[in-house]
Amino acid sequence: MSILNEMSEALQKGKKKEVEELVTKAVGEGFTPKQILEEGLLAGMNIIGTRFKANEVYVPEVLVAARAMNAGIALLKPLLVSSGVQPLGTIILGTVEGDLHDIGKNLVKIMMEGKGINVVDLGVDVPADRFIEAAKEHDAKIICASSLLTTTMMKMKEIVDKARAENLSVKIMVGGAPVNEEFAKSIGADMYKDDAASAADYAVTCFQ
Ligand code: B1M
């Protein structure tokens, strides 16, 4: 079995220490951070997602898999983030109110930091007002909101509405598994991106 398959399997079993060892080993063997992330960690999490949907695994199993995933991502972070870059500017990032999913948000943060962007990470379960206050406080160019639940997607509209009501000069980017371009347009968001790397690429264009 290839090391990336081993990593995917260890992640599915929630074996955090094993995932950390395999990430370190894969780096040593010359796999790129992108390969490790996509073919090892995300591949394992996708399988967990499918099995979760089919009721073959339950919240506790998903939670330990998520912990293993975050541990693997933490090891990759220094490799994904280039060093010595002056911050281009600031963005506000968070998972919307009612939503506790943070893996995608954390990836967005890593990719943004990798492009030299200063990220104010508000965490999870963030009310619309907090996004707005933080954007004002940090004079941010973009508010980046993540949502993983169909039940919390509409919280993104609250952010857009509040920002427009206050005439804030800030762009609003949305993303997350249930979000798509059509939804983003329907709530008046400025941008939708379906993966963390594209989100960071777009952010860079806002600072030019
Ligand atoms: Co949750 N969960 N979960 N869960 N969970 C989903 C999202 C679900 C699709 C599973 C399923 O049924 N197949 C489903 C949602 C269904 C729906 O709304 N239609 C679901 C559910 C129902 C729930 C609970 C309600 C379950 C329950 O309690 N009965 C509950 C809700 C808790 C809450 O938030 N209030 C719940 C809980 C959990 C755990 C806590 C166990 C855990 C989260 C742990 C954590 O995040 N620390 C968890 C997990 C891990 C998942 C799945 C399996 C994986 C999500 C993930 O991290 N994917 C997920 C199934 C799935 O998505 N296949 C599922 C990897 C991550 C990298 O992807 O976040 O999509 P993602 O990010 C992507 C892109 O979307 C994009 O970039 C990333 C790729 O580069 N992206 C952005 C994300 N944000 C972006 C922002 C941007 C741009 C791009 O710009 C701003």
Percent of the chain with pLDDT over 70: 97
Among residues 82, 116, 133, the one where a domain terminates is 82
Percent of the chain with pLDDT over 90: 73
Under DSSP, is residue 121 helix (H, G, I), strand (E, B) or coil?
Answer: strand
Q: What spacing in Å lies between the alpha carbon of 177 and ligand 1's midpoint?
A: 7
Looking at the structure, tell me whether residues 71 and 34 fall in a common domain: yes
Among residues 82, 115, 142, the one where a domain terminates is 82
pLDDT at residue 49 greater than cutoff 90: no
Among residues 55, 82, 109, the one where a domain terminates is 82
Q: Which residue minimizes the CA distance to atom 61 of ligand 1?
A: 49
CATH code, domain carrying 7: 1.10.1240.10
**pLDDT band of 82, cuts 50, 70, 90:** low
Number of domains in the chain: 2
Looking at the structure, tell me whether residues 163 and 109 fall in a common domain: yes
Q: What spacing in Å lies between the alpha carbon of 150 and ligand 1's midpoint?
A: 10
**pLDDT band of 85, cuts 50, 70, 90:** very low
Looking at the structure, tell me whether residues 187 and 100 fall in a common domain: yes
Cβ atoms of residues 9 and 61 within 8 Å: no
Ligand 1 atom nearest the C-alpha of 99 is 34
Looking at the structure, tell me whether residues 56 and 104 fall in a common domain: no
Q: Convert the pLDDT of each residue in 86-104 to its tens digit.
A: 678 999 999 999 999 999 9
Looking at the structure, tell me whether residues 141 and 168 fall in a common domain: yes
Ligand 1 atom nearest the C-alpha of 199 is 88
**pLDDT band of 40, cuts 50, 70, 90:** very high
Q: What spacing in Å lies between the alpha carbon of 208 and ligand 1's midpoint?
A: 32
Range of the structural domain that residue 155 is part of: 90-206
pTM of the shown model: 0.88
Looking at the structure, tell me whether residues 123 and 188 fall in a common domain: yes
Q: Convert the pLDDT of each residue in 114-137 to its tens digit.
A: 677 899 999 999 999 999 999 999
Cβ < 6 A, ligand 1 pocket: 45, 48-49, 52-53, 59, 62-63, 66, 98-105, 107-108, 144-146, 148-151, 173-178, 193, 195-196, 199
Q: Which residue minimizes the CA distance to atom 27 of ligand 1?
A: 59
pLDDT at residue 205 greater than cutoff 70: yes
Looking at the structure, tell me whether residues 71 and 129 fall in a common domain: no
CATH code, domain carrying 102: 3.40.50.280
Distant-in-sequence contacts of 187-193, Cβ < 8 A, 24+ apart = 187/154, 187/156, 187/157, 187/160, 188/157, 188/160, 188/161, 188/164, 189/156, 189/160
